[in-house]
Amino acid sequence: MTILIEQPEFGSQVEEKKVSFNANELILDGGFMVPKTLSSQDEIFEVPDINAFGQSFRDYNAESERQKSVEEFYRVQHINQTYDYVKKMREEYGKLNKIEMSIWDCCELLNDVVDDSDPDLDEPQIEHLLQTAEAIRKDYPNEDWLHLTGLIHDLGKVLLHPSFGGLPQWAVVGDTFPLGCAFDESIVHHKYFKENPDINNNIYNTKNGVYKEGCGLDKVVMSWGHDDYMYLVSKENETTLPSSALFVIRYHSFYALHRSGAYTHLMNEEDKENMKWLNIFNKYDLYSKSKVRIDVEKVKPYYLSLIEKYFPTKLRW
């Protein structure tokens, strides 16, 4: 096996040496599932100890103005995300009749977007997309589909843009969770679900709810937001990305599952296989957030080539 042995700056060109592995041969390393051929002593990207604010990552209890606004976000989100609301939003936005544009055009629309639910970063989202993609690219130079997944995974946040109706933050960002079954206590700021109307529905408050054990996550109604929307956009525009990429896009904010192991009873075998890639991706999505700036023009040609490979020129949104 050969690996990259230097750590260039974000956005610089790297020599793409081959690193091959079987997705079934993964080990737990530092809290993340990684290939046996690429454990922590080999990989380039190192998990930082603190976020952009000098605090621990995803610490929702740290005393700061940022944390206060994040908690208020989750209070409102937990009250308003209901089973019926999600059904309505999926029907409306699943029509994909808002606008036609390219993937890169969508990336540029995010220049003015800041995620109110994120306790780790307040930079425009385009920065986070490129940080994630470039960090993955260094460790997995031959998995170009995963590089592109890193770039596009948050594009659904354009739902915040006036062109898409300017949805409120609680309807676009934040951790996602299933509706139609009991709210697991591992969900961040779980206490605010007591004000959610679904709490009064006896069926929705059982372990399986309206679902059957092992039904598969594609049968589960998730809280509405950028994850599910970008999944719909990708699928309906007939992307040639593998199913594992669509799984990552759809469930990358489902932290109750991939950080706490909640709701695994609803997964099927395909979900379990795709979880291996989601656990790999999650490291880069979460821990690449920093004040390091990406040279957009330098990396743009590479990502345009991937977009051309996996997507049509114009997409329906």
Which residues carry a binding-site annotation? Answer: 58, 115-117, 128, 153-154, 157, 174-175, 226, 252-253, 285
Give the CA distances from residue 305 to residues 42, 144, 145, 297, 312, in Å, rounded to whole numbers and listed in that order.
28, 10, 11, 13, 12
B/e letters for 202-220, b = 16+ CB within 10 Å, e = fewer, are: eebeeeebbbeeebebeeb
Question: How many CB atoms lie under 10 A from the CB of residue 265?
Answer: 13
- How far apart, in whole angstroms, are the C-alpha atoms of residue 223 and residue 73? 14
Binding residues for Fe cation: 128, 153-154, 226, 252, 285
Binding residues for substrate: 58, 115-117, 157, 174-175, 252-253
Q: Are 233 and 239 spatial neighbours (Cβ–Cβ below 8 Å)? A: no
Using DSSP's 3-state secondary structure scheme, residue 156 falls into helix
- Nearest CA among 119, 259, 86, 72 for reference residue 184: 259
Q: Are 4 and 17 spatial neighbours (Cβ–Cβ below 8 Å)? A: yes
